[in-house]
Amino acid sequence: MPTKSFRLTRYFTITSFIAVALVALALVYFEHSQGQFFQQVQEQQSELFKQVQDDFAKQQEDVARRDLLAIHEGGNVNLTRLFANALWENDFAPFVLKAQSIPVDHCRAKPDPAIPEPDKNGEPLDTKKSCLADVGKQIMAFPEFSALDAKVVDAMKRSTTFKIKVFDLRGITVYSSEHKQIGEDKRNNAGWQGAVSGKPKSELTFRKTFSAFEGVVENRDLISSYLPVLAPGSDRIVGVFEIYSDVTPFLNRIKQTAIEIAQKAADTQAKVQHAAVENQAKVEQVSIVSVGVVVGLLGLLYAILFFVVKRAQNMIDHQEEERKLSQQRLSQAEKMASLGQMVAGIAHQLNTPLAFSENNVQMAKEAVGTLALPVKTAQDLAKLSKSALDQDQVTIDVSEIRQELEQIHALDTDVQKISIMLDDIYNGVGQMAEMVTHLQDFTHLDQRKWQEADINNTLRSVVYIARSVISSQVELIEIYYDVPLIECDVSQLNQVLLNLINNAAQAIVGDGKIWVRTQTTPQGGVQIEVEDTGYGISADILPHIFDLYFTTKPQGEGNGMGLHIAKDIIDQHGGKIEVQTEDGKGSVFTVTLPANLVHH
């Protein structure tokens, strides 16, 4: 079947629609991704803002606690100095000195189990804790202890100081407003160690219950400060104070402020989130509008391109029609050129049997004319014998016809020769009829354009016609194998094959041979080869042999359209034409045609 033309509008409609749809989908996807990205950025910014506010609130609370601790530590330092100035020289210094006279090394050498075990007699085991408790009892047994304790309680009454402890330089608690703690060893306490080295140490702690000057208190935030006690008028450390100050109201205020800040931050965060939601909605709205506008522009672009392509398709169709008409005109011109050459050859071949037959007819006519007298004489004798039906013998007076009989006797006409001449005439007419039949098969005028055809039969007609065109010095050799029927335009194929045979003959100088072969391809198609022993095709000419108007023949002998048209015809049949050549030794043109319909 002929090759189909490329339908630009159809393929553009499909491919451009798919492309526009993909672009639109990609745009929607990117817009959606951008919206999600913006939303994520908003959420991250909101979360970051919240984190910053939380960190700021926490930092503010921590700073407030630290400042509170520093302020109270400074206050406790001043309190310690005042306390030392008021009571140390006259009251605590002699008391501490006296308490230091009680040895504690033997207590420190005793075990300090977490759970004391009884001895072998069932009595409580003498431990470090119990030993130090005995030391405390000895201290509280001092006569001056009660007066000193009363002064301390009276001095701290109705203040925020809940407890006071006094340590000697050994780390032994020589005084505590909570009496049961007197005698405890704080030598390993980090706060005492820092204070005894001259560095105050403070700590903020929460106590569910605490023994204060005025009794047990509950749920209190306390600052405990270990403070060095300096001898009046010098930098010499003579002891360590531990003061517990109640900062619950201050800390509650700090906590309340932190709550208020957190609430403000939460309100601000809510506003930020609300603004983020509104911004996200605006972004989505703008995104929808943008997508709609772009999709609309894509649709408009598609419509414009469709109109342009549709017009281009019409122009292409028109140009294709013009090309086909031009191709037909070129093909017709080539065919007419071949036909003129072929007609000249056929006319030459027809002249021989025609002249021979004409001569024989004239001779037969003359021979038949000489038989008129004998036939007339024979007819007269027949009449005479018919009139004497009842007699076996008839008397003839030859005097009247003697002259005619002498003329008949003088004739040398041979009836057998007339028969031979008529046979020669008949054979000549048969040759002319065969030539007309092959010519009719070659031109294919009485059949439809595309049909199933036997290439072998087609080639026989082409070769018969070619013999009338090419030189008698060129021998045409036909080698045909069984091939399948193919669907083709026989008239066009005849034109191609005759052109190939003519070109092969023209490439031969003097004597030569042309082989015409057919065979079946491995794919079930048909392969036709035209091989010659001519001068071949040079390497510089070979790439151009199928170009339109390319010819190596002298001007007036070739128009350069034959092979171009041949290739175009083979392409329309879905086949291919190839050439193998060796300069000076000949060429082989191979035509391969697909088996659209396979029949054997």
Q: Are 237 and 198 spatial neighbours (Cβ–Cβ below 8 Å)?
A: yes
Q: Which of 526, 366, 386 has the alpha carbon at shortest distance from 454?
A: 526
Token pair, residue 376, equals 């007339």
Helices (H), 168-233: 190-196
Give CA–CA dist 595/582, Å, rounded: 30
Give the CATH number of domain 450-593; options: 3.40.50.740, 3.30.565.10, 3.40.50.1470, 1.10.275.10.
3.30.565.10
Token pair, residue 497, equals 């094959």
Q: Are 582 and 536 spatial neighbours (Cβ–Cβ below 8 Å)?
A: yes
Give CA–CA dist 410/309, Å, rounded: 95
DSSP class per residue in 341-365: HHHHHHHHHHHHHHHHHHHHHHHHH
Specify burial of residue 416 (Cβ count, 10 A radius: 0-12, 13-18, 19+).
exposed
Sign of torsion over alpha carbons 310, 315, 318, 324: negative
Q: Are 584 and 11 spatial neighbours (Cβ–Cβ below 8 Å)?
A: no
pLDDT of residue 528: 95
**Position 206, amino acid:** F
Specify burial of residue 16 (Cβ count, 10 A radius: 0-12, 13-18, 19+).
middle
534 CB-side CA count, 13 A: 24
In order along its 600 residues, the chain shows pLDDT tens digits of: 444 556 777 777 788 778 878 887 887 788 778 777 777 777 777 777 777 777 777 777 677 767 766 776 666 666 666 666 666 777 888 888 888 889 988 888 888 776 656 655 555 567 888 898 888 899 899 998 888 888 888 877 777 777 888 999 898 998 888 888 898 888 888 888 988 888 888 888 887 776 665 567 778 888 788 888 887 778 888 888 888 877 778 777 877 887 888 788 788 878 877 887 888 788 778 878 887 888 888 888 878 888 888 888 788 888 878 877 776 676 666 666 655 656 665 665 566 666 666 666 776 776 677 766 677 777 777 776 777 666 667 666 666 666 666 666 666 556 666 677 676 666 666 656 666 665 665 555 445 578 888 999 889 888 888 887 788 899 999 999 999 998 888 888 888 898 899 889 988 988 999 999 999 999 999 999 999 999 888 888 888 888 877 777 766 566 667 788 888 889 988 899 999 998 888 999 999 999 764 433
pLDDT of residue 442: 58
Give CA–CA dist 318/316, Å, rounded: 5
Give CA–CA dist 445/339, Å, rounded: 14
Q: Are 507 and 532 spatial neighbours (Cβ–Cβ below 8 Å)?
A: yes
Phi, psi torsion values for 529, nearest 5 degrees: -120, 135
DSSP class per residue in 368-397: HHHTHHHHHHHHHHHHHHHHTTT-S-----
Token pair, residue 600, equals 């054997």
Strand, helix or coil for residue 241: strand
Q: What is the pTM of this model?
A: 0.41
Give CA–CA dist 397/592, Å, rounded: 85
pLDDT of residue 597: 46
Q: Map tokens 């003839």 to a residue.
A: 396
Close Cβ partners of 472 (under 8 Å, ≥ 6 residues apart): none
Q: Which helix (H) or strand (E) holds 484?
A: none
Give CA–CA dist 426/431, Å, rounded: 9
- Taking 3-state DSSP, the helix, strand and coil percentages for the chain, each rounded to the nearest 5, stand at 60, 15, 25
Q: Which of 104, 171, 165, 176 has the alpha carbon at shortest distance from 140?
A: 176
Domain 1-334 listed as CATH 3.30.450.20: yes
Buried b / exposed e over 212-229, threshold 16 CB at 10 Å, is bbeeebeebbbbbbbbbb
Domain residue ranges of the chain, discontinuous segments joined by +: 1-334, 450-593
Strand, helix or coil for residue 213: coil
DSSP class per residue in 216-285: EEEEEEEEEEEEEEEPTTS--EEEEEEEEEE-HHHHHHHHHHHHHHHHHHHHHHHHHHHHHHHHHHHHHH
518 CB-side CA count, 13 A: 20
CA dihedral 500, 506, 508, 513 (to 10 degrees): 40
Long-range CB contact pairs, 22-26, < 8 A, 24+? 23/298, 24/291, 24/294, 24/295, 24/298
